[in-house]
Amino acid sequence: MSSGDRPVGRLSGRTSGRNTRQTSRIASTDNDEDDEIILDRPKRTRNLRPRYESTRMTANSSRFGRSDDVDELAQEPEEIGSDGDFVLIQSDLQPRRLTKRRKRSSRMISLRGKGTKDGIEFEAPRRSGRANKATGNMFEQMDVDDDNFSIDDDRSPGVPKVIAVKEIFQPLTAEEAGFRDVHCPSCSTCDANNPNKGALIYCQGCSFSYHKVCLGQRAARDHLVTKIAQDSFVLQCRYCINLYQKKDQRAPDLTRCFTCRESGKSCTPFSQRKTAKQEEQLRLENNGEDPVHEVDRQLINNADTCIFRCTTCRRGFHFEHLPSASSENTSHITSDTDTLRAKNIEEYSIEWKCKDCTDAPGKIDALIAWRPVDHENYVGQSYLDYGEDHIEYLVKWEKQSHRHCVWMPGSWVWGAAHGSMRSAYAKRVAAEGIGPQFDIKNAIPEELTMIDVILSVQYKGSFHATSKEADFQNVRKIDKVYVKFLGLGYDEAVWDDPPPTNSGKLYDEFLSAYDEYLAGVYFEDVSRSEMLDRIKEFRALDFAGQIESTEQPHTIQNGELMKYQVSGVNWLKYNYHKQHNAILADEMGLGKTVQIVALLADLVKDAPRVWPFLIVVPNSTVPNWRREIKKWAPDLRVVTYHGGKQAQDLAFRFELFPRGSTTMKAHIVVMSYEAAQDPGTKTRFNSTQFAGLIVDEGHRLKNDQNLLYAALMAMKIPYRVLLTGTPLQNNKRELFNLLQFLNPKLDAAKLDEEYGELTAENIPKLHDTIRPYFLRRTKADTLKFLPKMARVIIPVTMTVLQEKLSKSIIAKNSQLIHAILAKGKLKATERGSLNNILMQLRKCLCHPFIYSSAVEDRVEDPVKMHNNLVEASAKLLLLNLMLPKLKEQGHRVLLFSQFLDQLDIMEDFLSGLGLTYSRIDGNMSSLEKQKRIDAYNAPDSPIFVMLLSTRAGGVGINLATADTVMILDPDFNPHQDLQAVSRCHRIGQRKPVLCFQFTTKDSVEEKILQAGRKKMALDHALIESMDDQKEEVHDLESILKHGAEALFSDAKRDTITYDSAAVDKLLDRERLIAEQNPPEGEEGQTLNDAFSFARVWDNAAGDIVTESLESEVDPVINQSVWEDILRKREEEARLEAEANKEILGRGARRRGKVLLREFCYAMPLLTWSPGHTVLDEP
């Protein structure tokens, strides 16, 4: 058809802006028609591709709004109305406005390869290499006779470029109907059988089916589609081609039958996966067609070669190898494979899930442990040495207890568990080196299956509650219990079966918890007015004649109180009788907890029989408080309230106010600090009138501005008792805040102003103010039967590496030098910088590898690596001599440090010495801590050293089986070090205790130790004020100054060297104990005196030297030394700036040499070994 014969149509206003572009494709005029490709397409005034209108979805239309009857390759133009009387004229003078062509969506583009008709789309070859942006119009305006117009081009036409491949999946024939029967009738991607998405395509290897549109784009899909004939393609899903094992070699082999371990016959890829470029190249070589692959016809659409694949776990099974899905016995038909296969197809075609997935009680909640399938051939392989096919996991199910954990195959877990759960478990196992657990009892701690609290009960049949005794006798009628387990929080409470009666301790704990539950059900309700009457009657009694007792309260069971503890209970009861608040300030280890339990048991069960009482404690000690109350006073009903919103809601609804009760069903509520200061707690307990408040670790209220202080003050509880072994930690104001909490009439600010300066005249008056509120006893006064204790400060001198690193830390911080030389007041930012510098110095003095791990020279030889570790630190050099001797002498050691990284280094150090150890730090749960404590305290325990962080390991821990304490670095708060010593020097200790406090001579550690002794002196005698911010900053500067001049001095320093003989003298326990604990009647020392009068080991003399606080004065700093350091540092900075200047010139750019001086200061030693260092002086 010539251009003059083209039909001309009237264009509507709607299409005139889009349909002006016309084709410029010209048919070739070469004579040899056999060697050319002619794509003669009709000329038209619309777009090259039809524009699809949005149509309403019908049953016969696709889900994308286009009819399946449209032939994508034919590209037939839409009918255009003809009007022969009108021709559209366009101006050649006015340039036509080009409209920006709208980009087609990727969704519409992808549909071109997803049509239901066969064929391949081509784009006609272009003659010109120029762009065709306006060629349509240009051709129309040319006044040239079309019949005489031709283009001469010597180039031969190329192979048409393939735009998209149309994959044709032939429908099944009648003979192949059985192939459909072994496939899931819903799509495995969208899990639906939507007819609008077209017919399902069946995988050749397994029972999975897919919609064509759900397969995804050919270049991006995971499945494999193979062309087996000119107009026929077949599908193999990603599981049948084992895609996941190719990505991860530990993934299970999903091509195999899980039972017989043989691969499915059609689970071998029919073709090799190729990239888009490789496919395009093959089509170019094959005249634009996809090559046909030769595949055995017996493997195509054959039900016998298809395996069952579970829709949940993705494992494969031969149909005849599936276990029976029903309870019917199939042993009599197992020999008939066809019958068994037909039966399994019928059974499993209902849910299309394997028996493991059908029987699973729910989703996987956690992976508890692992073990290899082949137990007998295990020889120490790690978790990562096994693939998922060769291991089993111990699985905990959602909403079920650990009692129902079961071993499941790794291949099942791979498909059933979320990928993030498996990944997290694998990382944890690899990081912690967790080995296999072959026995489920060893894999699950007993505490996780032991019932702690019963929240609710479901009974069998028509059981009716009558009384506590009758209900307890009918314990066998319990069907389900809603329980919290001992080792878990309230948020993990579940409904569970009662444990079997023959389960020993588990059943005993269940009975105890049920008895406690019944105590709440039949709890005695007493009105508030009656409680007030009881209190009034009690306070009308004569305390000395009718209340006070020298005997242990009869309400206390399972133990005997000491005389001083009975005296303490009487003192507390006297204060309750007089409506007077108090502080029980006994020294740590004297049993403050049991005294409080005895007091509450007496007030609840004896006289005046009032409740409830509130005990506010640290979150980590809540379970311990409940355990102690149940041990000493089992008749008291105690409920814990902590652990976050969910846990608190459960405790409130099921224990405190069960079944919608308006009165509290508990004698005692143990609440965490966090729960007490929660605004919701005040609302919930607004109507509850507590009879008394006990605050453990009462020094937490030393700041009257914190949330806990305000929350407890707002509760308006009439009787308040604070428990603290350290009532004063830093200054007098903290003590006055405690007194203000007990008696709001005392103004802490006014007291602080009144006693701003302590004198001989006002101290007695202050003592008179404090005395009525305090009861303070020490171990030296009360526990005279305790073995003696000696405390020795051991000085060490820095190693060469530590000295050089300390110099670099100070010298690189010019702001420190300016601060030291400055006369004015430090800014807040400068104080922060000083704190950071101090922390780096402290780390370096512990061990240089803590300051920077790059300092360590890591080598393959373990002996050399151990030597490098030891000789880098002065403290490890001494411990290297001390610990083997202590082990040989039969002693056991507690080793404390402030830094967790130091504990990591100590683990490597002890491993190198071959010494056994355990560890406790703040990152562990209370349950794990207790397990390690029990293991250390067990009879004949092989553990020699217990590593502890000072803050986490110094509170609430009993390690009385140790007799030697080593504190590697001093704490700013000396009470923390005191608590560390009290871990073993307490009731239960049978041996003399020796405490070694390590400190580095001429360093910040010495000054920290001195400041700590001053705080202890203030606590002991209230003789010195250290309360304002100015003096604290001065302390910080003083600490940093201490020893700095000696560090930078050119003078030779005295080095302390310990040899085997010196260590033998140091470990002479009998002599040290005798010197520090003289016979009665002679002047001795208390533990507090040990901080006021320091016993420092003099290695040269081989004996202890006593140093008092009065002898400790700040040295006069030589300003010239610091000026030299500052001048040197500024000169280095200037040289560095000049060296880093870039030299720019015409035609070239050259950089100066870069000096990484700052990097050298920050990471000052990249390779180091004993006796050799590459670090230059700063």
DSSP states of 247-315 = H-TTS--TTBBTTT-PBPTT-S-SS----HHHHHHHHHHTTTSPPPPP--GGGSS-GGGPBEE-TTT--
Do residues 120 and 284 lie in contact, with contact meaning Cβ atoms separated by under 8 Å?
A: no
804 confidence band (pLDDT: 50, 70, 90): confident
- The CATH code of domain 360-444 reads 2.40.50.40
Q: Would the pLDDT of 1130 be above 80? A: no
Cis peptide before 744 (omega within 30 of 0): no
Spell out the domain ranges in the chain.
Answer: 1-157, 167-354, 360-444, 447-521, 537-725, 790-800+861-1035+1051-1111
- The CATH code of domain 790-800+861-1035+1051-1111 reads 3.40.50.300
DSSP 8-state assignment for residue 749:
H
Q: Note the CATH architecture for domain 537-725.
A: 3-Layer(aba) Sandwich (3.40)
Q: Which pLDDT does position 780 carry in this prediction?
A: 78
| Distance separating alpha carbons of residues 35 and 30, to the nearest angstrom | 9
Q: What is the DSSP string of 773-785?
A: GEE---HHHH-TT
> Which has the higher per-residue pLDDT, 990 or 988?
990
Nearest residue to 86 via CA among 11, 188, 173: 11
Question: What one-letter code names the amino acid at 424?
Answer: A
| Distance separating alpha carbons of residues 799 and 1170, to the nearest angstrom | 10
Number of Cβ atoms within 10 Å of the Cβ of 597: 29
CA end-to-end span of the chain? 92
| Distance separating alpha carbons of residues 251 and 967, to the nearest angstrom | 49
Q: Would the pLDDT of 243 be above 90? A: yes
Beta-strand relationship, 638-641 and 668-672:
parallel
Tokens representing 338 are: 């066809």
Rounded CA Rg of the chain: 43
Helix (H, G, I), strand (E, B) or coil at 457: strand
Show Cβ contacts of residue 207 under 8 Å, excluding neighbours closer than 6 positions: 182, 183, 184, 306, 307, 308, 309, 352
Mind listing the pLDDT tens digit for each residue in 147-170? 444 444 455 555 455 555 788 999
Do residues 487 and 511 lie in contact, with contact meaning Cβ atoms separated by under 8 Å?
A: no
Tokens representing 380 are: 């120490």
Do residues 680 and 711 lie in contact, with contact meaning Cβ atoms separated by under 8 Å?
A: no
Average pLDDT over residues 1084-1092: 43
Q: Strands, E, within 636-678: which ranges? A: 638-641, 668-672
Q: Would the pLDDT of 909 be above 50? A: yes
Q: Which pLDDT does position 860 carry in this prediction?
A: 75
Tokens representing 788 are: 């003696």
Question: What one-letter code names the amino acid at 1012?
Answer: G
Mind listing the pLDDT tens digit for each residue in 1010-1054? 777 666 665 655 423 333 333 344 455 565 555 555 565 555 556
| Distance separating alpha carbons of residues 766 and 14, to the nearest angstrom | 97
Question: What one-letter code names the amino acid at 778?
Answer: T
Which of 829-833, 971-975, 1052-1056, 1113-1117 has the weakest average pLDDT? 1113-1117
Do residues 790 and 1075 lie in contact, with contact meaning Cβ atoms separated by under 8 Å?
A: yes
71 confidence band (pLDDT: 50, 70, 90): very low
| Distance separating alpha carbons of residues 1003 and 1042, to the nearest angstrom | 6
- Of the ranges 118-122, 580-584, 780-784, the best mean pLDDT one: 580-584
Q: Which pLDDT does position 366 carry in this prediction?
A: 96
Nearest residue to 735 via CA among 724, 727, 743, 725: 727
Number of Cβ atoms within 10 Å of the Cβ of 678: 19
* Cα-based angle 1127, 1131, 1136 (whole degrees, multiple of 5): 150
In CATH terms, are 537-725 and 790-800+861-1035+1051-1111 the same topology?
A: yes
Number of Cβ atoms within 10 Å of the Cβ of 602: 24
| Distance separating alpha carbons of residues 871 and 1169, to the nearest angstrom | 8
1060 confidence band (pLDDT: 50, 70, 90): confident
| Distance separating alpha carbons of residues 656 and 628, to the nearest angstrom | 20
Residue 999 pairs in a beta bridge with 795
Tokens representing 130 are: 């120029």
